[in-house]
Amino acid sequence: MVSVMGYADRRSVRVGEHIQFKVSVDGAPTYRATIVRLIGAQTFPAPHAPEFKVEVMACPVNGEHKGQHHEIPIGSYAEIPTHPKLSRLTSCTLAASIWPTLPGSGEQAILGTVDGAGGLGLHLDKEGRLALVVGGQHFVLPRKLRPRRWCFVAASLDAETGTAIVYAREAELYQFDTLGAANQRFAKVPTPAPSERPFRIAAAHDGPKAIRHFNGKIERPRVLGRALSLTDLGRLALAGPAGPAHIDAIADWDLSRDISSEIVSDLSHNGLWGRTVNLPTRAVAGSNWNAERHDWRAVPDQYGAIHFHDDDIYDALWPTAFEVTIPAGWKSTTYALHLEAGDAEFWVPFFVRPKHGEAKARCAFLVPTCTYAAYANFRSRVEGRWSELYHGRVTVLDRTDFLMEEYPDLGSSTYDPHRDGSLTLYSSMMRPVTNFRPTGRVYKFCQDMFFIAWLEHRRIPYEIVTDDDLHAEGIAAISDYACIFTGSHPEYYSTEMLDAVESFLRRGGRFMYLGGNGFYWRTAYHPTLPGVVEVRRAGQGFLASDVERESHMSFTGEIAGTWHRVGRPPNLIAGVGMVTQGFDACTGYRRTKESHDPRAAFIFEGVREEVVGDFGVLMGGAAGYEIDRHDVALGSPRHSLRLASSFNHTNVYDISVPAFTDLVPKWSEDAPDPVRADIVFFETPGGGAVFSVGSIAWSGSLSWNGYDNNIDRITRNVLMRFIDPTPFRMPEGA
């Protein structure tokens, strides 16, 4: 079976800049590459859906290319460059505290230089027993280690006598824990041969490849320059993970330092620093965590562990197949590299921005690339037991969806567990992403292409700004525009992004929130690595989380969770906030008395219907999938107008309400149903304004009846008024 996949080194590129593409082909000698401008999305057959159109761009890379298959080096570890003090170990002690999550699932390296029959290391064998590995021989402690229990492990090797001690001591959580320490002496242990391999923590070598990845936490790994006695090993175990470098340290890595980076810091005088590979999870509680503080910045010595996984992935590290320089004539919009090999295809979308200072349009489409990253390779949609319950129907898959099953090394999204059951906190776009494409399931990027199709159909000038740009540049990324508008699902927002949008509004900018479940989860971008985001679902949310004790971002130190939890609910910026979700059916909106307020007259100009959006490509209506409602108690401005509310949602939406009170029946006939989406409008100081629709499904109604419908008219009315320089006036008393 033929497959072709690719990814780019960036999602957003300005005219005149370069973008690199990486490609892998399996089962075919060649592939065809074509750079296209995307003008719509390819949906399953549906009446009134926008036409899927692409424009082939004149580009030197278009055409046939020689194919080559590339593996993805999945699995995290830490690596210290080759150094004589680590390569020529003889009498020594290897030690660390570990919290294994999958002992007994195959051999796993804790630390060392093991490569086939060479090298020296401390491992768990395939049964989950602690082992000293020397010259391919395993000297094994008989007792298996228990999963998810802290255990100090060590191996002491005396090269002069050819003896070794393998030692394990579990943390004594309770007085009745009688396991205590275990040790065993071994004779006729060979002297380690010199190794030119880099020293690794949480992985072994197979030539240059990393294998035997450790699953679980490792804390304070050390290499000491002499063979410790049994008494000394006991003292080292009881000393705990904090403190200065050991007096005999060749290397003593304190993982509580440089948590926000890839750096692995050595406390010894030898300076044997290293780096992490494939983004193992940092800012996780160590063996000495006492439950008093949840902020790793306040007690970093209690967060001195790193959680490694055999399915961590940051960068696929494929070579560059070709590079494209964006010509001056290309407009700011959506593009893609279209790859074809045999009957297989793959899309690699990207976004073009104008040169600095050359913005010409009055409005910008704020593309939610941060959300695309959080959902990248969303396995739970395919594998999750709850997926069909939420959707109320059988999950529909296509050939590209199945790539995740055929190639598990593609990694997962922040909605998926690691193989050891822990939550995936980091997600990267520096790998092939199967659900970032203009085809298949109409959701995320594919659905956002409905906005592009609408803008192109209506010939409305626009330009592109991505979340990545907004995070990196702040207010400067959007300051040239009178109006910015979102995609269908801007769920994930960093502090820098939220600050930029709020600053834009304070300066009199106009903001159209044309989606649902927006500004929901606080997100962090890695400070140095491009294309990767961090999500920690601490506090209340729709997903159960076991990360309360690890509730601060490792990248930034910020408290994690929903923006509502951290004190900045989405109602403050959009006038509405997430209430529930349901994927079985969508409905329309019924206008309220406030929709006839003169302040809203421009919105409904040419709209006679009292019910709007009771049609649409997405499950039959403009209101649905994930919906947000107006709530003054949560920060919706008191002068905001609730123009319309959705009605008659199915009980599938009741499954996901965040609070029981959201299901309490309305108290009177005049009280709106709490399970609803609201259309909201309000003015802001400085002449600006906000328009919000509170529904992911909104864009699916734009193309209905050849774009001749009330959702198209309302959206067009608002956008035309929002790019008009005439300032809005705050109402009296606002």
Instruction: Point out which residues pair with 181 in neighbouring strands.
Output: 169
- 116, part of any domain: yes
For 562-577, the pLDDT digits (tens) are 999 899 999 999 999 9
For 465-499, the pLDDT digits (tens) are 999 999 999 999 999 999 999 999 999 999 999 99
Residues 60, 195, single domain; the answer is no
Length of the chain: 734
Residues 258, 126, single domain; the answer is yes
Confidence of residue 308 (pLDDT cuts 50, 70, 90): very high
For 582-632, the pLDDT digits (tens) are 888 999 999 999 999 999 999 999 999 999 999 999 999 999 999 999 999
Residue 51's contacts (CB-CB under 8 Å, 6 or more residues apart) are 40, 453
Question: Which pLDDT score, from 0 to 100, does residue 386 have?
Answer: 67
Strands (E), 83-240: 92-100, 108-112, 120-124, 129-134, 137-144, 151-158, 163-170, 181-186, 199-201, 204-206, 209-211, 216-224
- 557, part of any domain: no
Question: Which pLDDT score, from 0 to 100, does residue 209 have?
Answer: 95
Residues 123, 241, single domain; the answer is yes
Which value, in Å, is the radius of gyration of the alpha carbons in the chain?
28
Tokens of 650: 């199915």
Mean pLDDT, the chain, as a whole number?
A: 93
Residue 217 belongs to domain with CATH number: 2.60.120.200
- 425, part of any domain: no
- 659, part of any domain: no
Residues 239, 179, single domain; the answer is yes
Question: Cα separation of 339 and 139, whole Å?
Answer: 51
Give the mean pLDDT of 548-564: 91
- 107, part of any domain: yes
Confidence of residue 652 (pLDDT cuts 50, 70, 90): confident
- 274, part of any domain: yes
Question: Regarding predicted confidence, which is higher, 544 or 550?
Answer: 550
Residues 162, 204, single domain; the answer is yes
Q: Is the pLDDT of residue 354 over 60?
A: yes
Q: Is the pLDDT of residue 176 over 70?
A: no
Question: Which pLDDT score, from 0 to 100, does residue 229 have?
Answer: 97
Q: Tell me the whole-structure pTM to 2 decimals.
A: 0.95
Least confident of 43-47, 299-303, 491-495: 43-47
Q: Is the pLDDT of residue 728 over 70?
A: yes
Q: Is the pLDDT of residue 46 over 80?
A: no
Confidence of residue 107 (pLDDT cuts 50, 70, 90): very high
**AA letter at 730:** M
Q: Is the pLDDT of residue 108 over 90?
A: yes
Q: Is the pLDDT of residue 387 over 90?
A: no
Total structural domains within the chain: 2
Confidence of residue 74 (pLDDT cuts 50, 70, 90): very high
Q: Is the pLDDT of residue 34 over 80?
A: yes
Residues 131, 148, single domain; the answer is yes
Question: Regarding predicted confidence, which is higher, 392 or 537?
Answer: 537
Question: Cα separation of 607 and 600, whole Å?
Answer: 12
Residues 182, 300, single domain; the answer is yes
Residue 732's Cβ-count burial label (10 Å; 0-12, 13-18, 19+) is exposed
Q: Is the pLDDT of residue 177 over 50?
A: no
Residues 242, 94, single domain; the answer is yes
Give the mean pLDDT of 184-188: 95
Are 707 and 700 in contact by the 8 Å Cβ rule? The answer is no
Give the mean pLDDT of 358-366: 96
- 375, part of any domain: no
Give the mean pLDDT of 176-185: 69
Question: Regarding predicted confidence, which is higher, 582 or 370?
Answer: 370
Tokens of 488: 């269908």
Give the mean pLDDT of 252-272: 97
Residues 110, 236, single domain; the answer is yes
Question: Cα separation of 287 and 385, whole Å?
Answer: 33
Instruction: Point out which residues pair with 464 in neighbouring strands.
Output: 365
Confidence of residue 178 (pLDDT cuts 50, 70, 90): very low
Q: Is the dihedral of CA 706, 708, 712, 717 positive or negative?
A: positive
Residue 47 belongs to domain with CATH number: 2.60.40.10
Q: Which domain holds residue 143?
A: 79-308
Question: Which pLDDT score, from 0 to 100, does residue 211 have?
Answer: 98
Q: Is the pLDDT of residue 249 over 50?
A: yes
Residues 270, 142, single domain; the answer is yes
Confidence of residue 660 (pLDDT cuts 50, 70, 90): very low
Question: Which pLDDT score, from 0 to 100, does residue 504 have?
Answer: 98
- For residue 496, what is the DSSP state? H
Question: Which pLDDT score, from 0 to 100, does residue 704 have?
Answer: 96
Give the mean pLDDT of 216-243: 96
Taking Cα atoms as reference points, which of 158, 103, 171 lies closest to residue 131? Answer: 103
Residues 29, 149, single domain; the answer is no
Tokens of 289: 């965590």
- Which of 276, 308, 340 is where one domain is finished? 308
- 446, part of any domain: no
* CA-based end-to-end distance of the chain: 64
Residues 148, 245, single domain; the answer is yes
